[in-house]
Structure 1
Amino acid sequence: MTGFLIRRIPSAVLVLFATSVLAFVLPRLAPGDPAAAVAGPDATAEQIAAVHKGLGLDRPLIVQYWHWSIGVLHGDFGTSYTTGRPVTTLLADRFGSTVQLALAAALLMIVIGVALGVAAGSSRRPWARSLLDVTCTVLLATPAFLTGLLLALLLGVAWQILPVSGEVSLLADPEIGVQYLLLPALALALPQAASLARLIQSAMRQAYTEEYVQTAVAKGASPRRITLRHVLRNSLATALVSLGMRLGELLGGAIVVEAVFARNGLGSLAVSSSGHRDYLVIQALVLLAVTVAVLLQLLTEVGLSLLDPRIRLEGSR
């Protein structure tokens, strides 16, 4: 495992470096001037120019990037243009809310995805397979924000089972916090659960045709034992390959879902920062998201090697 990590570190560093460059350059290509947003709508050209200089935006881009990247290496992402607070403080204040949402959505994704995938992959009834296929197709075709709106209308407005918007910290009041968390987590998890179910279903159907399964059938093993011990284990190993990517997509989808359910997480921070052209906050959010994705991918590969001994971290079978 140590050798695997040593080999992966250079590529991970390269990915993060490329991300930092793109995160720095792309926001500046969009129309708008953060100095104008900070100065206000009634500011004169001289006042905007003064703010522009005060924020250091008058310096060459390469100089700005150099100072920002050096600060990032020391854990300093700069100071927000609009709030005047350190970017790390802003991220820390919102990080817990997004992590709660992402973890809850990941748990629901795994439970629902595995349940649907196993049901579709092991069922011998054509109508049941067709029903599960249609269900997964509908969930995949429905965007997360639309799923959230439909769930809010059904469970929040019509049936009044769960609160529609806002949030309560799980640490402050776990019971109430779960109620506020369930709807956005479900809206975020359902499309990814459908994708995971499709992958497990396909892997299970393929596994039933393998020789080791046919051998188990010939030896008289029960269908339950064949499914749980042989088919499902190998199918989950296949699904685990994409699990890290699914978790990364959950973090990306949290931006939209948090806006729909008025949660005070990183997603709402990204939306407000984009509107005010707060470059430093946007750069930090993008870099944080990619860093988490890289770490999840590494953990996924390690977990896959532990689940399936035939796969080695060195990349050989």
Structure 2
Amino acid sequence: MRRYLLKRIPSALLVLLLASFVIFLILRLIPGDPATSLAGPDAPPDAVHAIRDRLGLDRPLPVQYGSWLGALLTGHLGPSYAIGGQVSDLIGNGLGATLELTAGALLLVVLLGGAFGLVGATSRNRAVQAALRVVTTGALAVPPFVSGVLLVLLLAVGLGVLPSGGYRPLSDAPDIAVQYLAMPALCLALPSAAVLGRYLRDGLERTLTEDYIRTATALGVTRRRIVRRHALPNALPPVVTVLGMQVGQLLGGAVLVEAIFAWPGLGQLAQQGVLRRDYPVVQDLLLLLVAVFVLVQLLTDAVYAWLDPRIRWE
């Protein structure tokens, strides 16, 4: 396993390097100027020029890109243009809340997706099958900004069982923090849970038609034991790959969900950075997202090979 991961590291680093170049270039192609935004629309050209000089925006783009990479390698991300403070501090302050939201959503994805897949593949009740199709189709079709509003109207306004927004750290009061976490995590998890459930259902349905499953059934092995001991382990490897891809979807969707539920994570920080054209904040956040996604893919491939003995580590 160690040899396999070491062979994948160069390609992962290359992906990060290419992603950094694309992120840096796209941000500079977006209309607008951070210096003008900071100085104000009525500022004289000399004031705008002074701000550009102070921020280093008047230097050639290759020099700016090299300075950014150097800062990343040394861990000194520098100051924010518009929000204020050091970028590393801003990211560190919001990272914990975003990780809590993503972890809670991932747990719900596994639980709900597993239930959708298992019930969809094993239930012979037509009403249950129809209900599952409606739920999974709705979870895929309804965007988070709609499902978030619906959840607030139902659970917070209508029933009053959960707070409509806000944040409490898990370390302070876990019982209260879970109440604040429940709705945003559910809103973020629903689309990914529907995707995972469909892949698991399809994988189980294919596996249950294999000859060895028929043989086990003929020998009198119960269906529950067949599913748990034989069908499910063989259907899991591709589902693990899908789950790894959904982690990236969860991190990306957290930006919108945090705005809906006033969750003080990296999503709100990214929103402020984009609106204020704060290049250091936005580009560091985007590259962090890519780095997390690449790391998750490495771990997913390792788990896939561990679950499927046909995959070799070489």
Of all paired residues, the percent bearing the same amino acid is 47
Offset, 1:313: 3.1
Per-residue displacement from partner, 1:265-307 (whole Å, max 9, x unpaired)?
0000001100000011111001100100011111111112222
Q: Equivalents in 2 of 1:176, 1:224: separation in Å?
A: 38
Q: Equivalents in 2 of 1:128, 1:175: separation in Å?
A: 33
Could you tell me which amino acid in structure 2 is paired with residue 263 of structure 1?
W
User: Structure 1's 252 and 263: CA in aligned 2 closer, same or farther, altered over 3 A?
Assistant: same
Equivalenced residue count is 314
Per-residue displacement from partner, 1:22-59 (whole Å, max 9, x unpaired)?
11110111111111122234422211111011100000
Does structure 1 retain, via aligned residues, the 8 Å contact 2:36–2:48?
yes
Does structure 2 retain, via aligned residues, the 8 Å contact 1:113–1:194?
yes
In the alignment, structure 2 segments of 5+ residues that lack a partner are none
Q: Equivalents in 2 of 1:229, 1:145: separation in Å?
A: 40
1:147 is matched with: 147
Alignment of 1:135-284 (within 5 A): 135-284=135-284
Does structure 1 retain, via aligned residues, the 8 Å contact 2:83–2:278?
no
* Cα RMSD (Å): 1.2
Q: Equivalents in 1 of 2:232, 2:166: separation in Å?
A: 39
Q: Does 1:83 align with 2:93?
A: no
Q: Equivalents in 2 of 1:193, 1:108: separation in Å?
A: 7
2:123 is matched with: 123
Could you tell me which amino acid in structure 1 is paired with residue 168 of structure 2?
V
Q: Equivalents in 1 of 2:258, 2:203: separation in Å?
A: 33
Q: Bigger shift: 89-98 or 216-225? A: 216-225
Could you tell me which amino acid in structure 1 is paired with residue 294 of structure 2?
V
Other structure's SS at 2:139 match: helix
Does structure 2 retain, via aligned residues, the 8 Å contact 1:123–1:129?
yes
Q: Equivalents in 2 of 1:201, 1:183: separation in Å?
A: 26
Other structure's SS at 1:77 match: coil
1:25 is matched with: 25
Per-residue displacement from partner, 1:58-77 (whole Å, max 9, x unpaired)?
00000100111111111122
Q: Equivalents in 1 of 2:150, 2:244: separation in Å?
A: 27
Q: Bigger shift: 219-228 or 263-272? A: 219-228
Other structure's SS at 2:169 match: coil
Q: Bigger shift: 282-291 or 166-175? A: 166-175
Other structure's SS at 1:181 match: helix
2:292 is matched with: 292
Does structure 2 retain, via aligned residues, the 8 Å contact 1:155–1:161?
yes
Other structure's SS at 1:178 match: helix
TM-score by length of 1: 0.96
Q: Equivalents in 2 of 1:144, 1:313: separation in Å?
A: 39
Offset, 1:255: 0.1
Q: Equivalents in 2 of 1:35, 1:18: separation in Å?
A: 27
Does structure 2 retain, via aligned residues, the 8 Å contact 1:156–1:164?
yes
TM-score by length of 2: 0.97
Q: Equivalents in 1 of 2:54, 2:209: separation in Å?
A: 68
Other structure's SS at 2:303 match: helix
Per-residue displacement from partner, 1:87-106 (whole Å, max 9, x unpaired)?
11110010000000000000
